[in-house]
Structure 1
Amino acid sequence: MNVQPAECDRQTYSDHVSTESLGVFYHRKYTASVHRELGNRLIQEDRFVFAPYMIPERNDVSFFGIFDGTGGPFAADTIQNTIIEHMVSTDAWKSLMTAIDSAETGSTKIRQLAATAMKQAYANADKELLELCQKTDEHYTASTGVTVLLIKDYIVVAHVGDSRAAICYEDGGAYVTRFITTDHKPHSPDEKRRIKAAGGIVVYSKTRHATTFLRCGDYLKRHARGERPMQIQYSRAFGGKELKRCGLLCEPDVSIYKGLHQHKALIIASDGLWNVFKTRTAFTIVLRAHSNGMCIVLIVHRHKGKNPSITLVESAIMKNTAESRNSDNITSIVIIFNA
């Protein structure tokens, strides 16, 4: 299914199905697609927001996000449904919308307002989520978040946790690919210091390779009493009510880039994808699928369609299957900028 702008004009797309694709969305500045697969998991905990026309009265503001839940989908569900509302209700957002249309506003001011709006949106969405968790006894639910705001000629990327964004651009006639987010892990020096200062502890797993967990200091005592104390593999997240007192934050890192036309493509995805592919492989798959006008799974197996996100996600699942590995939930949003 190819969805033209006239057919999905001024809508925000998000859903709760285990496997789905919205098709390819053609914007005057970019082509975007999204796809999500359950993998070998019993529950789909990934959620996404796909809003090419986020604001009805203008066509130069788009918003995309992926939220990878843990401890059930409640946190990811909630953030999926509230993050845009929290963003547009901030004072910084209102100032940003005024500044972005003024020829007199400098780039530095726009960057400051955009970063503030995203940080306030994450904080306010997390506050609402924690209140809902308290009311509904959802003590263990949490979610990562990686979001992309395209506004005028700016790319604003924010994230908490280990869902990632990667970018591709041309330099000297060759494509360069790299991550533009850094995972928030408990063992990172700055994160570890903050966690310990808050009374939390960082534990290295004896059974899972290279995995560290954030726990509260009373974890073992509570576990011995038969309770179910929470632990988590990242140091920043939405939700995680029980761990907020022990150093878990929901303050996003925000990076801002100017010049959509200077970049070739952008991928945001849950860790189910990035545990399989490096950035160069991921961009090779989606750019070839886009240029050939069909999905090419691992550049060998072909099937009908023109959705690079389907190509990418199914390629990851096929690679896991070929190597006898289970697949996590995988969600990918691919944005390919027009030259």
Structure 2
Amino acid sequence: MGCCASSTASEVPVPKPRRRLSVGQVDESELPGNEDSQAEQDRGLIAAFSKNNLIEMVSDADQTGKAKSGRRVSLSSKTDKGTTSFANKTMQKFGDTDVDIAQCGIGYTCRKGLKPESPNQDSWFVLKMENFSLYGVFDGHGQKGHDVSNFAMDMLPKCIIKDERCFSTEKRDWGPILSDAFKKTQNFIMASDKMKTLQAQMSGTTATVAIHDHSDNSITIGHVADSTAALGTKNVNAWNGVALTRDHKPNLKDEKARIEKAGGRVVFDGYANYRVYAKNARYPGLNMSRCLGDLLGHAECGMSCEPEVNKITFEKGKQYILLVCSDGVW
């Protein structure tokens, strides 16, 4: 057993957690009070975004002449309380529902894992349009991780669609659009936690979102945490795969430096994970260094919601497959 910790932090014993848990065991008696952390104006935006589904928001843009999206369809998961292992998660579909998504080259599945104490905490969405498409995967953690992942799945693509840069007639730079959408979603989570419509102090989610720009045959991916995106390329009769994202783990040199600079600690749990803790405390115990939600970790430990962004342009004539999956698949 080994550990790494900030030189300014006194050592606090870390309890033994279950090996693969995203959140370690937490001593709730040490948690600080909930502090004001969100601008009042975001509450109105959350209410407005919640009234309409993603297709309705695209339709609003079409009415202004900005979207020119043609036929469009969205599919997404819907949070349910089922706890049966391997059960399919409830799905919802909006827009041109006669569109066969499989004929568009898109497939999806979402099944509950083996944890008996919680429902399926994964969430996902697909938005298929003529000019660009969006794909996203979110893997919740913590007691209310399923609620946080569902909230992020709902809000993040809407933040993208409401960004006027999406429908620019000029060449689009998707990186800043993704970064702003991630940050806005985190602000919405903070506001919802303050309004007590979401419990996100100790619950959060991964987020991996891909924007497929059909005009220049490219994909731009933004991600936090460890829901990996991988690209397969067919060469003759074989497929070769490469990861497009890196897992945001606390022991990575740059991630650890940011955490310790903010006063957090990185500690090995004795099994397989390095975890993030506040100075002189035993929370939040996360095995990731970036995510959405987990407000205590962001406030006290140097956690980040800033996505890493990667762009890939496809070569004509080659066959590709993009996989975006939560860590239970990999």
TM-score tier, shorter chain, comes to: 0.5 to 0.7
TM-score by structure 2 length? 0.67
Question: For residues 123 and 266 of structure 2, what CA distance do their matches in structure 1 show?
Answer: 28
Offset at 1:65? 0.5
Q: Which residue in 2 is equivalent to 1:236?
A: 290
- 1:180 CA displacement: 0.8
Please tell me whether the aligned partners of residues 186 and 213 of structure 1 are also in contact (alpha carbons under 8 angstroms). yes
Q: 2:268 & 2:190 partners in 1: Cα distance?
A: 27
Alignment partners' CA distance in 2, 1:120 and 1:254? 12
Determine which of 35, 45, 63 is the counterpart of 2:134.
63
Letter in 2 for 1:238: L
The aligned residue for residue 170 of structure 2 is: 99
CA–CA distance in 2 between the matches of 1:219 and 1:92? 43
- Give the Cα separation in 1 of the matches to 2:259 and 2:284: 14
Question: Residue 85 of structure 1 is aligned with which of 158, 165, 168?
Answer: 158
**Which has the larger share of strand?**
1
* Unpaired segments ≥5 residues, structure 2: 1-70, 83-87, 94-99
Matching residue of 2:229: 165
Q: Distance in 1 between matches of 2:132 and 2:315?
A: 13
Aligned residues: 236
Identical counterparts, % of pairs = 22
Task: Name the residue aligned to 2:31.
Answer: none
* Counterpart residue number, 1:127: 187
Residue in 1 aligned with 2:32?
Answer: none
Q: In proportion to residue count, which structure has more helix?
A: 1
Can you list the C-alpha shifts for 1:256-301, whole angstroms capped at 9, x where unaligned? 1112753421111000011xxxxxxxxxxxxxxxxxxxxxxxxxxx
Closer, same or farther in 2 for the Cα pair 1:150/1:199, shift >3 Å?
same
User: What's 1:48 paired with?
Assistant: 124
What is the aligned partner in structure 2 of residue 216 from structure 1? Answer: 278
Sort the Cα spacing of 1:26 and 1:260 in 2 relative to 1 into closer, same or farther, 3 A. Answer: farther
Q: What runs of 5+ residues in structure 1 fail to find an aligned partner?
A: 1-8, 54-58, 101-109, 221-228, 275-339
Residue deviations 1:153-197 (CA, integer Å, cap 9, x gap): 111111100000011113466421111110000000000000000
Pairwise CA distance, 1:46: 0.5
Per the alignment, residue 333 of structure 1 pairs with none
The alpha-carbon deviation at position 91 of structure 1 amounts to: 4.8
Judge conservation of contact 1:155–1:260 (CA < 8 Å) in 2. no
RMSD: 2.1
Question: How does 1:102-181 map onto structure 2 within 5 Å?
Answer: 110=172, 113-136=173-196, 137-152=199-214, 153-171=217-235, 174-181=238-245
Contact 2:79–2:90 (CA<8 Å) still a contact in 1? no
1:272 to 2:272 alignment: no
